[in-house]
Structure 1
Amino acid sequence: MSSPSARPNRGPAAGPGNRRALIDAARRIYAETGLSAPFTSVARAAGVGQGSLYRHFPDRTSLEVAIFQETLAAFRADIADERIGLDALFTAVAGEPVLSTVFVQMIRDSKDAEVVEIADGYQEALSLLLTRDIARGRVRADVDVDDVIHAASMLAGELTAVPLEDRPAAASRVRRLIDAALAAR
């Protein structure tokens, strides 16, 4: 007889829900503390066992890849509207600065094939936004994707260094500097 608090084992049927819970928990934890959070804390926050964590994500990189594949897919969907420019990127970074810092660090440092694919997709999306903003006269023609990545990284880095309640004001200040630096002359 099981104890009253024990959850019934749903077997393979629980797989998709557990995977979703793990990704959501990791996104929350990494957004608060970065990638240094203990891997086991993700399982705990998702309400699943470590076996389930390792079954879905055998290592930290595979979990990060899953998070950032979803992030990139959502970003691509958001920028499908032709009216969207680089402002969408900087708004997204300001909304999740810790996760954005982790993302940029991961795509810069990893040689994992899936991470390289995400990095290529990210650069392709940024190139589209940059091309739109250059064509509209919002951004100088000599600005390239690496410049945009550096600007996003600076924004995220600055916001992770200030208390949560000060982030909106800090984001506004940094955004003004970035806008001025990239602006068409």
Structure 2
Amino acid sequence: MLLVTLLSSAAFLAPQSSLLYLAFINLLLLVHGLIKRGDIRGIIRYIVLQLGFTLLLYALIHGGKQMNQGAWAVARMLLALLPGWWLTVVIKPQLIGVVLAKVMPAQWAFVVAASINLLPFMTNELRDIYQLQLLRGARIAPRQLLNPLNWYELAYCVIFPLFVQLLKLAQQTATAARSRHFGSQPQVTYWREPRSPHDTDR
């Protein structure tokens, strides 16, 4: 987790001349994550969309003179996201909660671990909302989003429903935690998976 924090921070703080070395480290993490059957499609879609928005904004503001700076900014975002993606692929959320509870209150560790665990679900939810709004005729297709006038429709038809879904999911998670008396005992327990098939018989 410290490695992921350092790599994600370095993506924004490192000079541009050092990004090649950082990209090589992230490439190794990417390959390892794919070997572990991690799904990278959500990050790819987000980066492609972010690249389109960023380059369009740079073109509108600077007249196309600093497009390379916009591309570098998106590249830094990608390098910041990949370590976190790799962590969610190779480490189970409950183990992340166990580690975080050693350095922060158990309630905060639970929130962080639950949020990480819900990222794949929210990615699928975002895709479903986007596709449903496209079927309803919303002007949010990639070609239509080149027009800044359609960005409001993207926020209204996709971002706002996703935000409502996040609030609903957070409320359900809090209700489930309270029903299990989370936080009522000073010593927090965690569900641990058996280390081997023989442990399930014990």
- TM-score w.r.t. the length of structure 1 is 0.28
**Structure label with greater radius of gyration:** 2
